Amino acid sequence: MGNKINKAPMSVYLAKLAALAFRRPWQTLAAWGLLVLVVSGLLMTQPRHISSGITLRDTPSQQTLDRITHELPQADGAQGYLVFTASDGTRVDTPAREEAIARALEQVNASGLVIDRETAIAKQRDAVESKIRGKVEAKVADSLRPKLTLMSDDLHAHGEMLQGLGNPAAGQILALAERSAKLSRSQPSWMIIGASQLVEELEVLKSQGASIGMGGPALVPQKLQDPRVQVNRAVSVASEPVLAELDTLLLGRDPSARPLRVGQAQFRTVAVSRDGTVAAMSIQLGDRLSDLPADVVDDLLGISRDEVAQQGLTVAATSTLRASEPPLGGRELVGLAIAAMVLWLTLGSIVAAGLPLLTAMTGVFLGVGAAFGLSAHYDMTSSTPALALMIGLAVGLDYALFIIHKYRSLLAKGQLPSESVVEAVGTSGSAVLFAGTTVVIALLGLLTLQIGFITVMALTAATTVVLAVLLSITAIPALLGLSQSRVRPSQIKRSGKKAHWVASGWTRVLSRRPLLIVGAIATCLGLLAIPASDIRLGMPAGDVAPNASEARITYDAMATGFGAGSNGPLAVVARRADGKAMGQAELLQTQAHLYRISDVASVKLVGANESRSMAIFQVIPDAGPTDPTTQRLVKHLRQETVTDLEPLEVTGQSALNIDLTEVLAAAIPTYLVVIVGLSLLVLLLVFRSVFLPIAATSGFLLTIVGTMGLMSLVFSDARFTWVVGLDRPGPILSFLPIMASGILYGLAMDYQVFLGTSMREAHVRGVGARQAVVDGFSHSSRVVFAAAVIMVSVFGGFVLTDDTMIRQFGFALSVGILIDAFLIRMTLMPALLLVVGEVAWWLPRWLDELLPKLDLEGTQLRQDE
Q: Which burial class, exposed, middle or buried, applies to 515 when counting CB atoms under 10 A from its CB (0-12, 13-18, 19+)?
A: exposed
Rounded to an integer, what distance in angstroms lies between the CA atom of residue 689 and that of residue 218? 123
At 267, which helix (H) or strand (E)?
strand 265-273
Residue 394 near residue 466 (C-beta atoms within 8 A): no
- Residue 741: is its pLDDT beyond 50? yes
Q: What is the pLDDT of residue 70?
A: 86
Q: What is the pLDDT of residue 594?
A: 94
- Residue 222: is its pLDDT beyond 70? no
- Residue 665: is its pLDDT beyond 90? no
At 600, which helix (H) or strand (E)?
strand 600-608
Q: Which burial class, exposed, middle or buried, applies to 43 when counting CB atoms under 10 A from its CB (0-12, 13-18, 19+)?
A: middle
Whether the full predicted model's pTM is greater than 0.85, yes or no, is no
Q: How far is CA 692 from CA 514, 647, 697, 828, in A?
A: 16, 54, 8, 12
Rounded to an integer, what distance in angstroms lies between the CA atom of residue 579 and that of residue 646? 10
Residue 54 near residue 656 (C-beta atoms within 8 A): yes
Rounded to an integer, what distance in angstroms lies between the CA atom of residue 608 and that of residue 574? 9
Q: What is the pLDDT of residue 485?
A: 64
At 618, which helix (H) or strand (E)?
strand 614-621
What value does the mean pLDDT take over residues 156-165? Answer: 80
Residue 411 near residue 489 (C-beta atoms within 8 A): yes
Q: What is the pLDDT of residue 492?
A: 47
What value does the mean pLDDT take over residues 707-712? Answer: 94
Q: How far is CA 607 from CA 120, 612, 795, in A?
A: 11, 9, 46
Q: What is the pLDDT of residue 216?
A: 42
Residue 660 near residue 621 (C-beta atoms within 8 A): no
Identify the residue with better confidence: 158 or 357: 357
Sign of CA dihedral 799, 805, 810, 811: positive
What value does the mean pLDDT take over residues 501-507? Answer: 75
Q: From its phi and psi, is residue 89 left (phi > 0), alpha (psi between -120 and 50) or beta?
A: left
The rounded percent of the chain whose pLDDT value lies above 90 is 32
Q: What is the pLDDT of residue 725?
A: 85
Band of residue 859 on the pLDDT scale cut at 50, 70, 90: low
Rounded to an integer, what distance in angstroms lies between the CA atom of residue 327 and that of residue 361? 18
Q: What is the pLDDT of residue 4?
A: 42
Q: What angle do CA 558, 563, 566 make, to 5 degrees?
A: 60
Exposure string for 788-824, b = 16+ CB within 10 A, e = fewer:
bbbbbbbbbbbbbbbbbbbbbbbbbbbbbbbbbbbbb
What value does the mean pLDDT take over residues 56-69? Answer: 86
Count Cα neighbours of 212 within 13 Å in the Cβ-side half-sphere: 18
Band of residue 40 on the pLDDT scale cut at 50, 70, 90: very high
Q: 688 φ, ψ to 5°?
A: 50, 55
In the chain, the amino acid numbered 78 is A
The rounded percent of the chain whose pLDDT value lies above 70 is 92
Band of residue 664 on the pLDDT scale cut at 50, 70, 90: confident
What value does the mean pLDDT take over residues 106-114? Answer: 90
CATH superfamily of 10-50+326-534+659-854: Multidrug efflux transporter AcrB transmembrane domain (1.20.1640.10)
Q: What is the pLDDT of residue 464?
A: 95
Exposure string for 556-595, b = 16+ CB within 10 A, e = fewer:
bbbbebbbbbbbbbbbbbbbbeeeeebeeebbbebbebbb
- Residue 728: is its pLDDT beyond 80? yes
Residue 223 near residue 151 (C-beta atoms within 8 A): yes
* pLDDT tens readout for residues 269-323: 999 999 999 999 999 988 887 777 878 899 999 999 999 999 999 999 998 888 7
Q: What is the pLDDT of residue 5?
A: 39
Identify the residue with better confidence: 490 or 418: 418
Residue 785 near residue 826 (C-beta atoms within 8 A): yes
* pLDDT tens readout for residues 365-399: 999 999 988 888 888 888 888 889 989 998 999 99
Least confident segment among 264-278, 461-475, 735-749:
735-749
β-pair partners for 260: 267
> What residues contact 864, with CB distance under 8 A and at least 6 apart?
2, 3, 4
Rounded to an integer, what distance in angstroms lies between the CA atom of residue 598 and that of residue 183? 58
Rounded to an integer, what distance in angstroms lies between the CA atom of residue 664 and that of residue 735? 6
Report the 10 Å Cβ neighbour count for 201. 14
Rounded to an integer, what distance in angstroms lies between the CA atom of residue 619 and that of residue 596? 11
Q: Which burial class, exposed, middle or buried, applies to 829 when counting CB atoms under 10 A from its CB (0-12, 13-18, 19+)?
A: buried
- Residue 47: is its pLDDT beyond 70? yes
- Residue 262: is its pLDDT beyond 70? yes
Q: What angle do CA 396, 402, 406 make, to 5 degrees?
A: 150
Query: In Å, how far from its chain's centre is CA 236?
Result: 49
Q: What is the pLDDT of residue 411?
A: 84
What value does the mean pLDDT take over residues 402-419? Answer: 86
Rounded to an integer, what distance in angstroms lies between the CA atom of residue 627 and that of residue 517? 41
Rounded to an integer, what distance in angstroms lies between the CA atom of residue 33 and that of residue 136? 80
- Residue 143: is its pLDDT beyond 70? yes
Q: What is the mean pLDDT of the chain?
A: 85
Q: 851 φ, ψ to 5°?
A: -75, 140
Q: What is the pLDDT of residue 215?
A: 45
> What topology is assigned to 73-123+237-321 in CATH?
TATA-Binding Protein (3.30.310)
Residue 815 near residue 648 (C-beta atoms within 8 A): no
Least confident segment among 698-702, 756-760, 840-844:
756-760
Q: Minimal CA–CA distance to 355: which of 475, 189, 517, 445?
A: 475
Q: What is the DSSP letter of 647?
A: P
β-pair partners for 273: 257
What value does the mean pLDDT take over residues 790-808? Answer: 88
Sign of CA dihedral 498, 499, 503, 504: negative
Identify the residue with better confidence: 585 or 854: 585
* pLDDT tens readout for residues 589-640: 999 999 999 999 999 998 888 888 999 999 999 999 989 999 999 999 999 9
Say which CATH architecture domain 570-651 belongs to. 2-Layer Sandwich (3.30)
Q: How far is CA 318 from CA 77, 381, 693, in A?
A: 15, 18, 50
Q: What is the pLDDT of residue 858?
A: 60
Band of residue 219 on the pLDDT scale cut at 50, 70, 90: very low
> What residues contact 178, with CB distance under 8 A and at least 6 apart?
152, 156
Q: 515 φ, ψ to 5°?
A: -65, -40
Residue 812 near residue 740 (C-beta atoms within 8 A): yes
What value does the mean pLDDT take over residues 67-77? Answer: 84
- Residue 818: is its pLDDT beyond 90? yes
* pLDDT tens readout for residues 528-572: 999 988 888 888 888 888 888 888 999 999 999 999 999 989 999
Q: What is the pLDDT of residue 864?
A: 41
Q: How far is CA 407 from CA 18, 34, 341, 411, 484, in A?
A: 12, 27, 20, 6, 10
Q: What is the pLDDT of residue 214?
A: 44
Rounded to an integer, what distance in angstroms lies between the CA atom of residue 406 and that of residue 786? 13
What value does the mean pLDDT take over residues 733-744? Answer: 88
DSSP string of 719-760?
Answer: TTGGGGT-SS--PEETTHHHHHHHHHHHHHHHHHHHHHHHHH
- Residue 49: is its pLDDT beyond 90? no
Q: What is the pLDDT of residue 862?
A: 59
Count Cα neighbours of 472 within 13 Å in the Cβ-side half-sphere: 38
Q: What angle do CA 376, 380, 384 make, to 5 degrees?
A: 135
